[in-house]
Structure 1
Amino acid sequence: MMQKRKYFPYTLPVIFFLVMLVDGHISSSILGLFSVPMDFTSNLLLMFLMFATFQMGKPYLVIWSGLIGLLYDSYFYNVIGINLVLLPIIVLLMYGLFEHVIPSTFTIILSFIVFVTLLSVGRVFLLVLFKLTETTILDFFARTLAPTLLLNILLIAILVVPLKKMFNVKK
């Protein structure tokens, strides 16, 4: 059984905010590094939210994911509602999944890939639905989803073991 860390309720909001900012810098740096018309989106915030599900209660994390989603929307998109809606929904899906799946390194990595895909598809769906962008399915898969998955698979492969220790996730 995982022992809950007593200081997490106080430190996680700050960690989420800092990770949100780091996400933006990683994405911007990669876009500046390559001169290709692709959208590499870092999802460290989603990764930290996923690991936080092992330590925090559902109401706490759903509320904070909504608040950080609101900040994310206002800081990166200038459109309120996309991450405000998607992050709490995905956090609820994370809780549902990890009630039935043992969090081994392999299942955590696979789960993260699924959650990144859901978040990316959800963002594009909402952006297209509200006519904030026009894109084709082929463009989305080739220029957004594939590079985003590649970047996030590298990030989770590097960070899964340290984050399992930080969040006290045992098999």
Structure 2
Amino acid sequence: MMQKRKYLSYTLPLIFFFMMLIDGHVSSSLLSAFSVPMDFTSNLLLMFLMFATFQMEKTYLVIWSSVIGLLYDSYFYNVIGINLILFPILVILIYSLFEHVYPNTFTIILSFIVFVTAISVGRVFLLVLFKLTSTTILDFFARTLAPTLCLNIILIAVLVVPLKSMFNVKK
């Protein structure tokens, strides 16, 4: 157990970086595959951050979520602050939630859906606040949140069992 945690502490930053890149590719591939005006946002990085909370210390994960949030912002938005703020806040919320909720498959899936919704709402709120986008609530729900939730529900349903095994989630 301790050996796995030590191994993960060295490999997780690379995994987070690759998940960030894969998120971008999955999202853009789906956007180009469907010629509809919708925004599919993959959240594999958030999924790995959530599962990492079961193995890693809070301080370690908050620091790395900040670093990956900074990279995410500079790579996707060219504006620093959106995910730099949201990722550490969500990691802290994930730790808080799973201190009180037993992490079985069902609660992990439901929690992930809540966190995907939170990060999507947080992103659009900050983007509107900084005047980087102008969108209506209806547009956001219909064109961004609904497709994002559909995609991420499929991803978590497929990956929950392998990730539970990888991160040794047996609380």
* TM-score (norm: length of structure 2): 0.98
Give unmatched runs, 5+ long, in structure 2: none
Mapped to 2, the partners of 1:88 and 1:11 lie a distance apart of 19
- In the other structure, the counterpart of 1:135 is 135
Q: Which amino acid aligns with 2:106?
A: F
2:47 aligned counterpart, secondary structure: helix
**Alignment identity in percent?**
81
Question: Secondary structure at the residue paired with 1:149?
Answer: helix
What residue number does 2:117 align with? 117
Q: Which residue of 1 aligns with 2:147?
A: 147
1:122 deviation in Å? 0.1
Q: In angstroms, what is the RMSD of aligned CA positions?
A: 0.7
Amino acid at match of 2:55: Q
Q: Tell me the distance in 2 between the aligned counterparts of 1:26 and 1:123.
A: 18
CA drift of 1:9 comes to 0.5
C-alpha separation in 2, matches of 1:19 and 1:122:
20
Structure 1 residue ranges without an equivalent (≥5): none
What is the match of residue 165 of structure 1? 165
1:39-90 deviations in Å (ceiling 9; x for gaps): 0000000000000000000000000000000000000111100000000000
**Structure 1 segments of 4+ aligned residues over 6 angstroms from their partners:** none
* TM-score, normalisation: structure 1: 0.98
Q: Are 2:78 and 1:78 aligned?
A: yes
How many pairs does the alignment contain?
A: 169
Code of the residue aligned with 2:83 in structure 1: it is: N
Cα distance in structure 2, aligned partners of 1:133 and 1:76: 14
Alpha-carbon distance in structure 2 between the residues aligned to 1:22 and 1:131: 27
Equivalent-residue separation in structure 1 for 2:21 and 2:70 (angstroms): 13
SS in 2 for 1:135: coil
Distance 2:165 2:20 in 1: 21
In 1: Cα distance, 2:114 partner to 2:26 partner: 21
SS in 1 for 2:131: coil
Matched, 1:14 2:14: yes
| Aligned-partner SS, 1:99 | helix
Structure 2 equivalent of residue 96 of structure 1: 96
The structure showing larger relative contact order (alpha-carbon pairs under 8 Å, at least 6 residues apart) is 1
CA deviation after TM superposition for structure 1 residue 99, in Å: 0.3
